[in-house]
Amino acid sequence: MSFITLDTKAYRYNLSCIAAKAGGYDKLICVFKDNAYGHGANLLAPITRACGVNFVAVKNESEAYQLEEHFDNILILSHRPTGEENPKFIYALNEPSTLTQFKKNTRIHLKIDTNMHRNGVNLENLEKLLKELGCLNLEGAFTHFMAADELDASYFAQKRNFQKAKETIRNATRKTLLFHSFNSSALFRGQMPQDELCRVGLVQFGYGDGSLKKVLKLYAQKLSSRELKKGQGIGYGGTYVADRSLKVATYDLGYADGLFRYNGKGQLKLANGKELLGKMSMDSFSCEDSGEEICVFNDANLWAEFFHTINYEILVKLHPSIKRILI
Assign residue 83 a region (left: φ > 0; alpha: ψ between -120 and 50; beta: otherwise): left
CB closer to ligand PLP, 159 vs 199: 199
* Collapsed DSSP state (helix, strand, coil) of residue 226: strand
Single out the residue of 19, 31, 64, 268 in contact with ligand PLP (rule: CB under 6 A): 31
> Segment near ligand PLP (CB under 6 A), from 198-206, 222-230, 249-257, 290-298?
198-206
Strand segments (E) across the chain: 3-6, 28-31, 55-58, 73-76, 90-93, 107-111, 137-142, 178-182, 197-200, 216-228, 233-234, 240-241, 246-251, 285-288, 293-297, 323-326
Number of Cβ atoms within 10 Å of the Cβ of 243? 8
Number of Cβ atoms within 10 Å of the Cβ of 132? 11
User: Closest approach of Cβ 209 to ligand PLP, in Å?
Assistant: 11
User: Closest approach of Cβ 280 to ligand PLP, in Å?
Assistant: 27
DSSP secondary structure letters along 146-171: S-TTTT-HHHHHHHHHHHHHHHHHHH
CB closer to ligand PLP, 34 vs 252: 34
User: Closest approach of Cβ 3 to ligand PLP, in Å?
Assistant: 24
Burial of residue 231 (CB within 10 Å: 0-12, 13-18, 19+) is: exposed
Residue 137, strand partner residues: 107
Single out the residue of 70, 79, 107, 199 in contact with ligand PLP (rule: CB under 6 A): 199
21 binds ligand PLP per the rule CB under 6 A: no
Catalytic one of 33, 111, 217, 279: 33
Any catalytic annotation for residue 33? yes
Any catalytic annotation for residue 166? no
Single out the residue of 126, 202, 249, 270 in contact with ligand PLP (rule: CB under 6 A): 202
Residue 76, strand partner residues: 58, 91
User: Closest approach of Cβ 169 to ligand PLP, in Å?
Assistant: 18
Tell me the residue nearest to ligand PLP as measured from the CB.
201
70 binds ligand PLP per the rule CB under 6 A: no
Q: Which of residues 170-189 bind ligand PLP (CB under 6 A)?
A: 183-185
Angstrom distances, CA of residue 263 to CA of 23, 93, 278, 307:
46, 42, 7, 11
141 binds ligand PLP per the rule CB under 6 A: no
| Stretch 142-161: interaction string toward ligand PLP, x if CB under 6 A | --x-----------------
Residues in the chain: 327
Which of 219, 306, 222, 224 lies closest to 265 in space, CA to CA?
306
201 binds ligand PLP per the rule CB under 6 A: yes
CB closer to ligand PLP, 198 vs 276: 198
CB closer to ligand PLP, 33 vs 217: 33
Which residues, including other chains, have CB under 8 Å from residue 7's CB and lie 6 or more apart? 213, 214, 215, 216, 217, 327
User: Closest approach of Cβ 142 to ligand PLP, in Å?
Assistant: 7
User: Closest approach of Cβ 167 to ligand PLP, in Å?
Assistant: 22
79 binds ligand PLP per the rule CB under 6 A: no
17 binds ligand PLP per the rule CB under 6 A: no
Catalytic one of 9, 88, 175, 236: 236
Which residues belong to the active site? 33, 236
Residues of the shown chain interacting with ligand PLP in the complex, contacts defined by CB under 6 A: 31, 33, 77, 144, 183-185, 199-202
